[in-house]
Amino acid sequence: MDNNRQQKIARQIQRDVAEIFQRELAADLRGTLVTVTTVRMSPDLAYAKIYVSVFPFERAAAVMQTLEAQTRTVRGALGNRMRNQVKSIPELQFFIDDSLEYIENIDSLLHEEDRHEK
């Protein structure tokens, strides 16, 4: 169970990373909508798992390659923003949050089934 400090740091990282994507990685992420959906912190606050949603989903692999290549840049920018709030900036790991694609797939299957019944 996340404690209150973990939740606060996770929310702050979520906001800051989203802003970093908009401002500092805008050129690298052009043509895609990248949303930070969730951040999960380790109990010692040393690691942050950042889940991102990508639209269009077909570009998710390319976006993940970009994010992995830019992890140091993102962590450095995060450090500049959070240096007065935490002792050390956590190591960042990016993961695809494919829940929106999953929901869309189920929705299309349900609509397809409705058409076959009529």
| Residue 107's CATH number | 3.30.300.20
- For residues 51 and 35, give the distance between their C-alpha atoms in angstroms, rounded to a whole number: 8
Q: Among 6-15, 71-80, 84-93, 99-108, whose mean pLDDT is lowest?
A: 99-108
* 46 in Cβ contact with 61 (< 8 Å): no
pTM listed for this prediction: 0.82
- Residue 1: per-residue pLDDT: 45
Neighbour-count burial for 95-110, b at 16+ CB within 10 Å, e otherwise: ebbeeebeeeeeeeee
Residue 24 has pLDDT above 70, yes or no: yes
**CA–CA separation, 82 vs 89, rounded Å?**
8
- Average pLDDT along the chain: 89
Q: Which of 4-13, 15-24, 34-43, 107-116 has the lowest mean pLDDT?
A: 107-116
Q: How many domains does the chain have?
A: 1
Q: Could you tell me the residue range of the domain that residue 77 belongs to? A: 4-117
Of residues 77, 78, 76, 54, the one with CA closest to residue 66: 54
